[in-house]
A and B are shown apart, each in its own frame.
Chain A
């Protein structure tokens, strides 16, 4: 079974402060991890994926297999980062791969 946990439903920071959105996963195989974001009045979209090892909009996320975590970080938060963030894991089931999402974290960046 695969499971994703985002322990914080709500996270509030001030503009310019560092932000970290936590994500922990449970999966017996080798996981593929993603972060998806949903801005107000927009559709859910991919933010980044761990295999790309890239920084998107200043966000980075490192897969830590020892801690089974994939936390999303940004050193200086901006107001436009306010959104709902979902961590997701792609793992193989009996019928191909499937994406499992966490509960989501609503990030608010205050001016």
Chain B
């Protein structure tokens, strides 16, 4: 099944620890995105990347970091600076950033206690 793979599906961490969420795509898409999904708030953009070795902050980048060393991979690190990290995280990719439809992964549910 080609597409976008996010792992793990569920992740539990103690407060104060950094945690990295994996996102891999085999669609040969240039652009990749990280969204956070909270009930009643829709999807909010954390970071996005249009090309390898380049990325931009989205609307809620504080407390998060990303890297884009390979075209197929766009890992998201939730740092201890993120004040409310417990959420559902969605990774997506698209052929390009101009009006290209997004293809989403299945998501990772992160719980921080």
Contact = CB atoms under 8 A, between A and B. Distances in A.
| Most chain B beta-carbon contacts within 10 A, residue among A4, A43, A45 | A43
- What interface size band does chain A fall in? 20 to 34
Interface stretch (A59-67, A69-77, A94-102): A94-102
B99 A104 contact: no
Contact of B97 (A6, A49, A97, A101): A97
Interface stretch (B43-51, B67-75, B77-85): B43-51
B105 interface: yes
A51 B105 CA distance: 25
A49 B102 CA distance: 11
- What interface size band does chain B fall in? 20 to 34
Interface string B27-48: 0000001010000111111001
B99 A90 contact: yes
B4 to A, nearest CB: 8
A98 B45 contact: yes
B101 A46 contact: yes
Contact of A98 (B42, B97, B101, B105): B97
B90 interface: yes
A34 interface: yes
Given A43-B104, A44-B92, A46-B101, 13 more contacts: A86-B42, A86-B43, A90-B99, A95-B50, A98-B45, A98-B48, A98-B97, A99-B102, A101-B35, A101-B42, A102-B42, A104-B40, A104-B42
7 contacts: A44-B43, A44-B104, A49-B99, A98-B97, A101-B35, A101-B43, A104-B43
